[in-house]
Amino acid sequence: MSVLGTVSSPADLRTLDQASLTTLAAEIREFLVATVASTGGHLGPNLGVVELTLAVHRVFRSPVDPVIFDTGHQSYVHKILTGRRDLFDTLRRFDGLSGYPSREESPHDWTESSHASASLSCADGLSRAFALTGQDDRCVVAVIGDGALTGGMAWEALNNIAEGDGRRLVVVVNDNGLSYSPTVGGLVGPRRASVPRKLFGDLGLTYLGPVDGHDLEALERTLRQARDHGGPVIVHTVTEKGHGYAPAVNDDIDRMHSTGIIDPVSGQRRTGGGRTWTGVFADELTAVGAEREDIVAVTAAMAGPTGLDRFAARFPERTVDVGIAEQHAVTCAAGLATGGLHPVVAVYSTFLNRAFDQLLMDVALLHLPVTLVLDRAGVTGPDGASHHGMWDLSVTGTVPGIRVAAPRDGARTAAALRRCTAVSDGPTVLRFPKGEVPADVPALRSTPDFDILADGGEVTADGLEVLVVNYGALTAQSFAAASALVDAGHHVTVIDPVWVTPVADSLVDAARDVDLVITVEDNGVHGGAGQQFHRALVAAEVDIPVRYLALEQRFLTHGTRAEILAESRLDPTSAGRRAADWVEHLRR
């Protein structure tokens, strides 16, 4: 039997000698490559923390001693060692193993930690709770890395952790010099070995390191010293992202940070390759940048995933990478706009939640021309509850003076970007989903404020006039709802607005003489595009029924986009059935 086959809990690690541990580390890497190659996931980060995770679980007593990973995508080895190895063929699949720590999966997972830079605040609070309740024998461990120390929240926490004499808290810094791409800022570069000792020392924190993050004996020796210190300790480990897997180590972009399905030998992608929403945006932004010298791109450590790497390759002097710091990114953009430029800030939709105050008070209040591009809007798929971009229409809809675009296809995405960057008196937002962009959906005819995508059906004696308002990428669902109603003897018009917000007067006028409005969107129902339109109707005293085809207001699981939409009754079949049910109810 392999050594890996004998390990089902952290306690099993403590019986192994160093030779067995070395074998185990190699077997874990082989297992990770084989399984993640077939499911997709965060490969590079986990290959880099094999020895580190082994050492943490040999020295500390999880779950008695909480271990928190930041970000949580580097927790695969932790999952393997805590009894979930046999579930890895379901990784990031519907009803399967989460790609992040999950309290529902195991008592060894104390929090999800799927957004960066939050672990130290959680660890600070946990250590305070243990101290206040007399649990002085418990130690809290936070493993922070993959660029998470570029986030301001981590430093807010360190400021408080430094006051924690007597609290048993160990901060393990996994220093691999990378986040999604090479980490930026003053904490990296040739000074990696000297800056942290002085920096953490000046905060009053005990500092140990740097330690070779692939030397098990050195790691264990240092971690035991930290565990027994009796107060907060920083353990600085230096690791190599992708360690032990040549395709990852040789990947100069991000060390195979996150992969789709790949060939385990070569590391080459096996699926995909079509044009993506992100790619459409990236090409158009580069074209706009070539025409306008005032366009500046801003990224929070994710130039590649958001498509800004193409702009950066062409205009490096007009590209700003602030690290994993979305709050700073938006207010930095406000400063750029104040200086006469037009910044384009590209982030994942779900990460905008972190920068709402900056959008509201630093950008919108000052009527500054900042364009926010929200990638991964709506249902994203395998990254799960924390990464579905289902809040952005609700959040941005509360901002005075904002203009929000949700294009239905690639052509409309390119056009929307140009509309957004042409605005000079306030913030604009462009949102689109993850994945391959569908074929363009042409309009039957257009008005300045909306496209008419379908207009048909013979109205029977008891038939109704129905207006379907399509917001964004769920055009198939809008057409399915319309088709079901036309088959039932109703007249249906499907329109697609130029802007989600503000709601155009002509859009309200289009609804004045219908019997029912159905809105379709890839966003949570509460405060979403449908409810914003409904409020506009109420304000105009247009008193007609409105029904929403939108995401349920709950945290959605992980799986494919199609699976999650179906579970949320937002697939085309469900859209048609629900629309027919609504109309039938109105006719009773």
Residues with active-site annotation? 241, 326, 354
Residue type, 398: T
- Per the CB < 8 A criterion, the answer to whether 232 and 126 are in contact is no
- Please state, in angstroms and rounded to a whole number, the distance separating the CA atoms of residues 173 and 213: 10
- Please state, in angstroms and rounded to a whole number, the distance separating the CA atoms of residues 314 and 182: 18
Residue 82's alpha-carbon distances to 63, 123, 131, in angstroms, are: 9, 20, 26
Q: Which residue has the tokens 């992608």?
A: 269
Strand ranges across the sheet with 233-238: 67-70, 140-145, 169-175, 233-238, 206-212
- Please state, in angstroms and rounded to a whole number, the distance separating the CA atoms of residues 297 and 372: 10
Question: Closest by alpha carbon to 52, among 173, 182, 170?
Answer: 173
User: Within a 10 A sphere around the Cβ of 56, how many other Cβ atoms?
Assistant: 27
Q: What token pair was written down for 438?
A: 């569908």
Q: Which residue has the tokens 């264990």?
A: 220
Among positive and negative, which fits the CA dihedral 43, 48, 51, 57?
Answer: negative
Find all residues with CB under 8 Å of 8, minimum gap 6, and list them.
83, 85
- Per the CB < 8 A criterion, the answer to whether 418 and 405 are in contact is no
Instruction: Render 23-58 in DSSP notation, one character per residue.
Output: HHHHHHHHHHHHHHHHH-B-HHHHHTTHHHHHHHHH
- What is the radius of gyration, based on Cα positions, of the chain? 26
φ, ψ for residue 429, nearest 5 deg: -135, 135
Question: Closest by alpha carbon to 523, among 450, 437, 431, 452?
Answer: 431
Measured in residues, the chain has a length of 588
Q: What token pair was written down for 176?
A: 């691999």
Q: What token pair was written down for 2?
A: 């392999």
Beta strands in 158-285 (DSSP E): 169-175, 206-212, 233-238
Annotated binding residues: 73, 114-116, 146-148, 176, 245, 326
Residue 268's alpha-carbon distances to 234, 272, 383, in angstroms, are: 38, 11, 21
Among positive and negative, which fits the CA dihedral 364, 343, 146, 556?
Answer: positive
Question: Closest by alpha carbon to 408, among 333, 479, 481?
Answer: 479
Distance of CA 78 to the CA centre of its chain: 21
- Please state, in angstroms and rounded to a whole number, the distance separating the CA atoms of residues 242 and 176: 10
Annotated binding residues for Mg(2+): 146, 176
Residue 121's alpha-carbon distances to 116, 133, 158, 176, 313, in angstroms, are: 11, 18, 8, 22, 36
User: Within a 10 A sphere around the Cβ of 293, how many other Cβ atoms?
Assistant: 10
